[in-house]
Amino acid sequence: MRLIESFKKKKFILLNIFFTLYIGINLVGGERGLISYFDKKEIYKELVNKEKILTSKLEELEHKISLVKNNDFDYLDMLYREQFRYGKKDEIIIKLK
């Protein structure tokens, strides 16, 4: 009898300990916990960097397209020589890239 009575008295303490452990474990390691937060933060930084790189590449391509559309003869000559490996006999071609 004393065991049952002491268990009834300590039931509230045991439930509090259980809920505290449950909340603590989920706070640190759960799907929305601290570990997941830092992982998602790193993924976000990588995606922002990729976005910056892709944006700069897109701007560069848009600039090249505008040069072709506006018939910029210097750029068209450069494309022609690069694509078809064209050069005159008395020219010296130096590739910088």
Asked if the structure places residue 11 within a domain, the reply is no
Query: pLDDT in tens for each of the 97 residues of the chain?
Result: 677 777 777 888 888 889 999 888 888 887 888 888 999 999 999 999 999 999 999 999 999 888 888 888 888 877 877 777 777 777 777 777 6
How far apart (Å, rounded) are the C-alpha atoms in residues 93 and 80? 13
Q: What is the pLDDT of residue 5?
A: 76
Asked if the structure places residue 3 within a domain, the reply is no
Residues 6 or more apart in contact with residue 34 via CB below 8 angstroms: 27, 28
Number of H helices, E strands in the chain: 3, 0
Q: What is the pLDDT of residue 91?
A: 75
Asked if the structure places residue 44 within a domain, the reply is yes
Q: Which domain holds residue 76?
A: 28-87
- What's the whole-model pTM score? 0.57
Burial 33-48 (b: 16+ CB within 10 A, else e): eeeeeeeeeeeeeeee
Asked if the structure places residue 41 within a domain, the reply is yes
Counted domains in the chain: 1
